[in-house]
Amino acid sequence: MDWPSIIQISHFARCGFVERLKDPHIVCPVIVGLLTRYSSNYEYPDHVNNHTKNEKKIRICLLHILATYARIFYFDTVQILSNQSFICSINSIFEIAIDENHKDKTSETEILLSLIVFHLIEREQPMLCRVANKSGLLDRLIQIFNKPNDECLTVRIKSAVLRTIIRLIRISSKAASSSWIKLKKQVIDSIFSDDISMRIWGLKYVLTVIKMIEVNSKEGLALECIQPLQLCPSIFVLMYDECVPVRQQSILTICRIIISHENEKECTQLVYMGVIGLLLDVLKQNELMNYTNHIAIPVLISLNKLVKHSEKWAFILINSKGIDTILSYLKYPAENIIIAVILLLFNVSNHSSFHTNKVLEFKTLHKLHRIKEIVNSNEFTRIIGKVIYSLIMMCTEYEILHSFIMNSGDSQIIENESIQIHLKLIQKSFTKLQKFMDSNVKMKY
């Protein structure tokens, strides 16, 4: 292919004349070959005129063609570009970006186009990330992100670079931990950036690193290199950010930190920071109702993990009016939310009869029984039935039990021999206590 043909294809690509574009099997290999040449110290042929000698303009022209082909003919283009040559040419472009101090918008366009092409290809070929990591693309991007005093490195570029770094570290815990060591300071700064996208992608990066390192960690020891607890006070602030997506991302990050920690001492630090109250506040936020399934599940799982550790923490949840808040989530039809709520109620109650009585003060048994009657799944009904039975057998408040059993209208509960024996024992204790209190009152007067 000659230069006039390439310039013509570039024009068609920019203008969206899809029907005039040539076969990707012909165009893409040629473009990658040219891109490799023009992204390195290559002597230009004599027939290239002065107007096209500008390296950046040539590279941008070639990248525009690849981006268009990857978007429109993605299946064919992906197959052609999923190779070492393409990665090497992209890598060379980023090397140029590191070596130069840019002052014009062409450099920004060049980097963005390179990232767009990589994203389009990687979307269909995730294994390309392994090739990219081996060829040093991750290190190049980290260097670009950390590069100071470059006018080209706008917030838009930094956000796109960080997004690509997140994609690259998702395939390797080693890459995730090494990137954290190099990026920690800059990412923490980005979390408090004025730009919303930087705050969101900064939090997503932290979340991804924790997930990746957690996979290969033993008893959470590998998480020590991240020290996520040091980040918590900063992330707590973002849980009240004006931007809902930022708030949402900070909540997910905190939940991941809680779920990742097996060490009770570290969980204690989080509780002392007030994390239980913060998570309950999240469940009360009306702005997050559109993300109920996405947000409620990790929050409920995090609370569940904390209350299982300690009866004191379970009581903090009770005293924070947490039971009423948690029960409000039974109105959602999603089974996974209902199961998470039931499990949390059970684990709070499981510490003692005192905890159980406190949990059941909010007509909890009535609400659970109502759910049992609504759901169609036999397995789900069986689980709720077992939880209701356990709560009844742990409860020592006669009035709560009597009110529920008599009003349930459920023959399986009313006629259950174990429940009836338990109710009689509680009634006997209740009667004795009532007589004792009455006799004390008479003695006083």
Q: Is the pLDDT of residue 39 over 70?
A: no
- At 324, is the secondary structure helix, strand, or coil? helix
Residue ending a domain, choose from 170, 188, 206: 170
pLDDT the model gives residue 413: 87
Same domain? For 437 and 335 the reply is yes
**Using one digit for the tens of pLDDT, what is the confidence trace for 270-329?**
899 899 999 999 998 866 665 667 888 999 999 999 999 889 999 999 999 899 999 998
Same domain? For 337 and 444 the reply is yes
Q: Is the pLDDT of residue 53 over 50?
A: no
Same domain? For 145 and 15 the reply is yes
In-domain check, residue 301: no
Structural domains of the chain, count: 3
Q: What's the whole-number average pLDDT of the chain?
A: 81
Give whichever of 78-82, 357-361, 379-383 has the largest mean pLDDT.
Answer: 357-361
Q: Which domain holds residue 160?
A: 1-170
**Using one digit for the tens of pLDDT, what is the confidence trace for 99-158?**
666 555 556 677 777 777 777 777 767 777 888 888 888 888 898 888 876 677 778 888
In-domain check, residue 230: yes
In terms of residues, how long is the chain? 445
Same domain? For 89 and 69 the reply is yes
Of 135, 142, 144, which Cα lies nearest the Cα of 110?
Answer: 144
The residue type of 34 is L
Same domain? For 260 and 212 the reply is yes
pLDDT the model gives residue 101: 62
Mean pLDDT of all residues in 200-224 = 76
The whole-angstrom separation of Cα 347 and Cα 365 is 15
Paired tokens of 418: 């174990």
Place 268 in a pLDDT band, splitting at 50, 70 and 90: confident
**Using one digit for the tens of pLDDT, what is the confidence trace for 392-442?**
999 999 889 988 988 888 888 888 899 999 989 988 887 877 776 666 655
**Using one digit for the tens of pLDDT, what is the confidence trace for 10-32?**
777 777 777 778 888 888 888 87
**Using one digit for the tens of pLDDT, what is the confidence trace for 54-89?**
777 788 888 888 888 877 776 777 777 766 677 777
pLDDT the model gives residue 51: 40
CB proximity list for 226: less than 8 A, separation 6 or greater: 177, 180, 206, 209, 210, 213
Residue ending a domain, choose from 170, 199, 223: 170
Place 359 in a pLDDT band, splitting at 50, 70 and 90: very high
Same domain? For 74 and 140 the reply is yes
The whole-angstrom separation of Cα 137 and Cα 139 is 5
Residue ending a domain, choose from 140, 170, 200: 170
In-domain check, residue 239: yes
Q: Is the pLDDT of residue 41 over 50?
A: no
Please provide the DSSP assignment of 254-305 as one string: HHHHHHH---HHHHHHHHHTTHHHHHHHHHH-GGGGGGHHHHHHHHHHHHHH
